[in-house]
């Protein structure tokens, strides 16, 4: 994998380098499998997987791709 295919993100104050083509949910699962958000539908319908981005924005992690430099909390 080339360097451009990865992004740097924060999850619950933990810094991670992850592939650029994964969802926020997948990144959360990789950071903390025990505490990661619930997954019910996996396609944006149920809002069970909501996390906070950059301290304020609430989003559905299962349908949101990771973005370089962002921080996520759940
Ligand atoms: S798991 Fe249902 S909206 Fe994400």
Model pLDDT for residues 56-65, shown as the tens digit of each residue: 999 999 999 9
Q: What is the architecture of the domain spanning 3-65? A: Roll (3.10)
pTM for this predicted structure: 0.91
Please tell me the number of Cα atoms within 13 Å of 71 on its side-chain side: 9
Within 6 Å (CB) of ligand 1, which residues are found? Answer: 39-42, 44-49, 60, 62
Domain residue ranges of the chain, discontinuous segments joined by +: 3-65
Three-class DSSP category at 3: helix
Q: Give pLDDT tens digits for 13-31.
A: 899 999 999 999 999 999 9
Q: Give the residue, out of 41, 51, 58, 59, with the most ligand 1 atoms within 8 A of its beta carbon, to mutate for a pocket test.
A: 41
Cα-to-centroid distance, 69 and ligand 1 (Å): 23
**What is the distance in A from the centroid of ligand 1 to the CA of 25?**
9
pLDDT digits (tens, 9 = 90+) for 28-45: 999 999 999 999 999 999
Strand, coil or helix: what is 57? strand
């Amino acid at each position: 994998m080339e360097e451009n295919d990865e992004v740097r993100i924060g999850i619950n104050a933990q810094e991670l380098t992850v592939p650029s083509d994964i969802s926020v949910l997948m990144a959360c699962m990789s950071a903390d499998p025990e505490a990661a958000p619930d997954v019910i539908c996996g396609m944006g319908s149920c809002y069970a997987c909501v996390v906070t981005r950059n301290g304020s924005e609430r989003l559905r992690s299962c349908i949101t791709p990771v973005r370089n430099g962002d921080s996520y909390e759940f």
